[in-house]
Amino acid sequence: MDKKKHIVVIGGSAAGPKTAARAKRLDQDAEVTIIQMAPELSMASCGYPYFVGGVFNDRNQLLSTPYGEVRDPDFFWNTKGITARTSTEVTAIDREKRLVTCRNLETNDIDQVPYDKLVIATGATARKPPLPGIDLEGVTTLQSMKDADFLRKIRDDKDITNAVVIGGGLIGIETCEALQLSGIDITVVELLPQILMFLDWELAKILENHVKSKAANVLTDIGVAEFIGKDGKLTAVKLANGTELPCNLAVMAIGVQPNTRLADEAGLKIGPTGGIEVNPFMQTTDPNIYAVGDCVEINHRITGARTRAPFGDLANLQGRVTGENVVLGNTAQFPGTIHTGICKVFDFSAGSTGLSEANAKAAGYENIVTVINASLDKPEFMGAKLLISKLVADGRTGKILGVQCVGPGDVSKQIATAAMAILGNLTVHDLVNADLPYAPPFSLPIDHFIASAHLLENKMKGRLNGISSLEMKKLLDSESTPFILDVRTPDEYNMMRIGIGETLIPISDLRNRLQDLPQDKDQEIVCYCKISLRGYEAQRLLEAHGWKNVKVLEGGVMAWPFGREK
């Protein structure tokens, strides 16, 4: 009698192969089979934009191990003892008989594969709304190796000069950069009021300004109405307001939808967000069937709500848990996500972890405190670069809810540190004396992350009276404009300034020029400098001399997301 476990994995991108490999490592006697619809296996899909953009030229690097061996069916069999069937579609799951029905896409042959444990790792599909002209040649996504090959050929052939990227999320912005660096004029069209919705508006606007500085146009708050073509080929994208953008290429990057058809037809429960419902063991409502990766919904570790998080790192982590559970029983758990992510935006990076301010409010948090910090990632003499961070905390407990960071500096370090702080349930007060590594090549004596915590603690204790750029803009647009005090040097002012009616009094002169300020001690005064460190010094000085309504523009000139005079 055959006592070997028969484990079948449907899907061979990220989560599926990780599940299969983990299961085989833990049970060498198990018969593990991967069934993959695409001709490739273990594709590094997050690398597609960089292949398209020419960061590397060998497409096999998207399919290879760290030591350069292509992960094809021969590799899986010879190295891991796993059977991998590519170009094969699973058409049905028979839960009662524990069989999956397969169709070979090259020969149309149909057969059935038995399983003891089944893993659904069918991933997600790029969203393509039913717009007129969506099937024109030149309208594509960046979801598969086929898509990457298509866009890479466009880059190499250099026949296209104008393209439209529809969607300002992670893939959209990465695709924008890849094509723009290839010499193609790009317009990004985003239906929502901002790009990169994992950021709050003011940080997203800084990124938008940076994208525009790289000669790529960005249009927000506008949708696409149709694709216009001639002889079956794309010639323009028509926007909802009637504007036509001439182009021969349009990349749809408006998110993904989980591939749940097989699970749904098999009677497995689909959750409220549209993903396959799984428990912490990654087990579906059938105890013999598990699901992993972009097709599932999981727990949000801060809010407790169900969420979808189609990220490659989470797919691998879920696969590791599932591979253990299908051979050893439910011994491992996947606790969920805090939505940590990062992307490259030309010379900047943009990252976030946890909840943005907008998401915290949507989740029902009523007492939220935030602060924006603009400062350097290391000393000037070590080639410092700017970082702009926003911390979001629960004002009642001080618990960190989320952190966002953008800029040319080391964003990844900031977000990685913040993610562990959130997972550790740390408060602002825990972080102000955090023991992080310091040496001039790597950070300032007080790291940017710790400095951000200092600012937020000062704000929570009533010492820093901060005002955000959005709040400042509302004041400027109202009839009660405050007295605006720029405390930088004249050289700094002449080189770069906001131009909002500010008065320049350098911090070194301020003690001797208090008579130049409004003598009504109730008059609202907003102070700032390049990053508002001196702005805070000014606030404390003026309060000591009796002014009662002094604020500091958080992040100063460098975090100002609106237009500048100079």
Q: CA angle at residue 205 from 180 to 172, to 5 degrees?
A: 40
CATH number at 536 reads 3.40.250.10
**pLDDT (tens digit, 9 = 90+) per residue, 511-523?**
999 999 999 999 9
Q: Which residues are catalytic?
A: 46
Q: Is 130 domain-assigned?
A: no
Q: Taking 90 as the threshold, does the pLDDT of residue 3 lie above it?
A: no
Q: Are residues 453 and 474 in the same domain?
A: no
CA dist 526 and 545 (Å) reads: 15
Q: Is 565 domain-assigned?
A: no
Q: How many domains are there within the chain?
A: 4
Q: Are residues 113 and 12 in the same domain?
A: yes
pLDDT tier, 498 (very low <50, low <70, confident <90, very high otherwise): very high
423, 438, 460 - which closes a domain? 460
Residue 534: enclosing H or E segment and its boundaries? helix 533-544
Q: Are residues 213 and 285 in the same domain?
A: no
Q: Are residues 481 and 500 in the same domain?
A: yes
Q: Are residues 143 and 212 in the same domain?
A: yes
Give me the mean pLDDT over the 546-564 stretch. 96
**pLDDT (tens digit, 9 = 90+) per residue, 392-412?**
999 999 999 999 999 999 999
CB atoms within 10 A of CB 404: 30
The pLDDT of residue 246:
97
Q: CA angle at residue 415 from 411 to 420, to 5 degrees?
A: 155
pLDDT tier, 2 (very low <50, low <70, confident <90, very high otherwise): low
Q: Taking 50 as the threshold, does the pLDDT of residue 1 lie above it?
A: no
Give me the mean pLDDT over the 49-68 stretch. 94
Q: Is 352 domain-assigned?
A: yes
pLDDT tier, 479 (very low <50, low <70, confident <90, very high otherwise): confident
Q: Are residues 113 and 163 in the same domain?
A: no
460, 476, 492 - which closes a domain? 460
Question: Can you give the pTM of this predicted structure?
Answer: 0.94
Q: Are residues 115 and 261 in the same domain?
A: yes
Look at residues 406, 483, 425, 373 and name the one whose alpha carbon lies nearest to residue 198.
406
- Rounded to the nearest integer, the mean pLDDT of the chain is 96
139 touches 250 (CB < 8 A): yes
Q: CA angle at residue 29 from 23 to 35, to 5 degrees?
A: 55
Look at residues 481, 335, 349, 483 and name the one whose alpha carbon lies nearest to residue 416.
349
Q: Give me the residues paired with residue 406 across strands.
A: 350, 388
CB atoms within 10 A of CB 396: 11
Q: Are residues 265 and 308 in the same domain?
A: yes
CB atoms within 10 A of CB 192: 15
Give me the mean pLDDT over the 225-231 stretch. 97
- Transcribe 74-142 into DSSP letters: HHIIIII--EEE-SEEEEEEETTTTEEEEEETTT--EEEEE-SEEEE---EEE-----TTTTSBTEEES
Q: Are residues 265 and 242 in the same domain?
A: no
Q: Are residues 441 and 366 in the same domain?
A: yes
Distant-in-sequence, close-in-space partners of 288: CB < 8 Å, separation ≥ 6: 95, 98, 115, 116, 117, 118
Distant-in-sequence, close-in-space partners of 166: CB < 8 Å, separation ≥ 6: 172, 189, 224, 237, 250, 251, 252, 253, 254
User: 3-state SS string over 153-208?
Assistant: HHHHHCCCCEEEEECCCHHHHHHHHHHHCCCCEEEEECCCCCCCCCCCHHHHHHHH
Q: Is 10 domain-assigned?
A: yes
CA dist 88 and 102 (Å) reads: 7
CA dist 189 and 183 (Å) reads: 19
Q: Are residues 220 and 175 in the same domain?
A: yes
**pLDDT (tens digit, 9 = 90+) per residue, 540-551?**
999 999 999 999
The pLDDT of residue 480:
81
Q: Is 133 domain-assigned?
A: no
416, 433, 460 - which closes a domain? 460
Q: Is 134 domain-assigned?
A: no
CATH number at 361 reads 3.50.50.60
The pLDDT of residue 216:
86
Look at residues 139, 301, 164, 169 and name the one whose alpha carbon lies nearest to residue 239.
164
- Burial class of residue 541, CB neighbours in 10 A (0-12, 13-18, 19+): middle
Look at residues 210, 213, 180 and name the one whose alpha carbon lies nearest to residue 195.
210
The pLDDT of residue 181:
87
Q: Are residues 372 and 482 in the same domain?
A: no
CB atoms within 10 A of CB 1: 2
- Transcribe 33-65 into DSSP letters: EEE-SSS--S--GGGHHHHHTTS---GGGGSB-
Q: Which domain holds residue 157?
A: 139-254
**pLDDT (tens digit, 9 = 90+) per residue, 245-297?**
999 999 999 999 999 999 999 999 999 999 999 999 999 999 999 999 999 99
Give me the mean pLDDT over the 146-169 stretch. 95
Give me the mean pLDDT over the 379-393 stretch. 97
The pLDDT of residue 566:
86
**pLDDT (tens digit, 9 = 90+) per residue, 89-113?**
999 999 999 999 999 999 999 999 9
362 touches 433 (CB < 8 A): no
Report the percentage of the chain scoring pLDDT > 70.
100
Q: Is 518 domain-assigned?
A: yes
Q: How far is CA 540 from CA 469, 507, 551, in A?
A: 20, 12, 10
Q: Is 335 domain-assigned?
A: no
Look at residues 7, 4, 1, 5 and name the one whose alpha carbon lies nearest to residue 322.
7
